[in-house]
Amino acid sequence: MPKVQAERLREIGRALLVANGVPEDEAATVARHCVAANLAGHDSHGIIQIPGYIDRMKAGHIVPGAAFTIVQESPTTTVVDGNWGFGYVINERAMQLTIEKARTSNIAAASVFRQGHVGRLASYPLMAAAAGMIGMAWADSGRSPKSVAPFGGREARLGTNPWAIAVPSDLEGPLFIDMATSAVAVGKVKLAQARGQQIPLGWVVDSEGQLTTDPAKLQPGGALLPLGGPGEGYKGYGLAVIGEILCGILTGLGFGVEPSGRHNDGCFMLAIKVDAFRPLLEFRQQVTDLAGYLKATPPSTGSSGVLYPGEIEHRQEIERAREGIEIEAATWKKLQGLAEAGSLGAQLGFGAA
């Protein structure tokens, strides 16, 4: 697999989106978030998504330049209609508005509906953490096609419904969690398929309800298992149902599947001003101390030691920013094809990584 520098990947993503009718500022935002996911090691939400976003635009399922409509608001809450815009664009703006409201009111929340794929969910809580706040985001697939079976079932009825929280600290890298309530994100299964790799047993059941290591068995007719897998999946199932309520029902999207098959992420976001509870500097230091206390735990047999939540992404980001980001051949070929179709092949330097 070729290794590509982050700056070049951002330019490839931006240029391909602009060539397909996306405004410059939106294209830059989407490319920046996608490559940030690659840098953090979450390749399933990285540049691999750009060809799919372009396909959705051509089908009319993503609307570049869509309006950001505030349907209802108060000093502490906002309900946003994304009008089928890019999830990264709509959600970034919604979280920024939520942070601004929390600066005045200490706590603020927003719900967002009718938008495209929201991408790497940690992107939004990390904005709040950088502003000295505790940030949270929860997302579901609204009435989009489903991929996760309820615990005890074999047919997909839920989205992966991810949940992310980030907190301010004095650590070198941010402390946060970003997790699907399914055993794994759909994108990681697709990534394994693109790379010709098997998946761990316990991620997917095929159309007959049998556990499989073949990523191709997810579609058609298969399903992801909830977090916890065959034995403890009731935990992930419960979290997914709450996510469905906060992001599907509270936003007004509802549940089930929209007949058009249009991707329609719902999102619920929260920002909590730390200074409303205790001095921010003290809080940041104690979070840092907590991370140090956890990392000082003697390692278990075969372990390389304890990391704080988010540390592995920080390490990946440092390494990939220096060494480049590995891009699987199938994705590179798609990007090259899009560049050549838009007469951008020479400009973007395809043919050599």
CATH number of the domain encompassing residue 41: 1.10.1530.10
Instruction: Please give the pLDDT value at position 188.
Output: 84
Kindly state whether residue 343 falls inside one of the protein's structural domains.
yes
Which residue segment(s) compose the domain that 39 sits in? 1-59+324-353
CB neighbour list of residue 171: distance below 8 Å, 6 or more residues apart: 287, 288, 291, 308, 311
Kindly state whether residue 263 falls inside one of the protein's structural domains.
yes
Consecutive 10-residue runs of the chain (353 residues): their mean pLDDT?
Answer: 91 96 98 97 93 95 96 97 96 98 98 93 98 96 81 91 97 96 87 89 92 91 92 94 93 77 86 98 98 97 95 97 93 92 86 58
Kindly state whether residue 108 falls inside one of the protein's structural domains.
yes
Instruction: Please give the pLDDT value at position 6.
Output: 96
pTM comes to: 0.91
Kindly state whether residue 267 falls inside one of the protein's structural domains.
yes
Instruction: Please give the pLDDT value at position 275.
Output: 96
Q: Which residue has the tokens 């706590």?
A: 107
Nearest one of 46, 29, 183 to 120, comparing CA atoms: 46
Structure tokens at 202: 């316990």
Kindly state whether residue 236 falls inside one of the protein's structural domains.
no
Q: Does 54 share its domain with 85?
A: no
Q: Does 254 share its domain with 114?
A: yes
Structure tokens at 328: 């699987």
Q: Does 138 share its domain with 263?
A: yes
**Sequence-ordered alpha helix ranges (H) in 203-274:** 229-244
How many Å separate Cα 57 from the centre of its chain?
Answer: 19
Virtual CA dihedral for 203, 120, 41, 156, nearest 10 degrees?
10
Instruction: Please give the pLDDT value at position 263.
Output: 76
Structure tokens at 70: 């505030």
CB neighbour list of residue 42: distance below 8 Å, 6 or more residues apart: 120, 178, 313
Kindly state whether residue 202 falls inside one of the protein's structural domains.
no
- The answer to whether residues 50 and 187 touch, using CB atoms and an 8 Å cutoff, is no
- The answer to whether residues 194 and 330 touch, using CB atoms and an 8 Å cutoff, is yes
Q: How many domains does the chain have?
A: 2
Q: Does 72 share its domain with 131?
A: yes
Q: Does 32 share its domain with 174?
A: no
Q: Does 97 share its domain with 172?
A: yes
Q: Does 36 share its domain with 174?
A: no
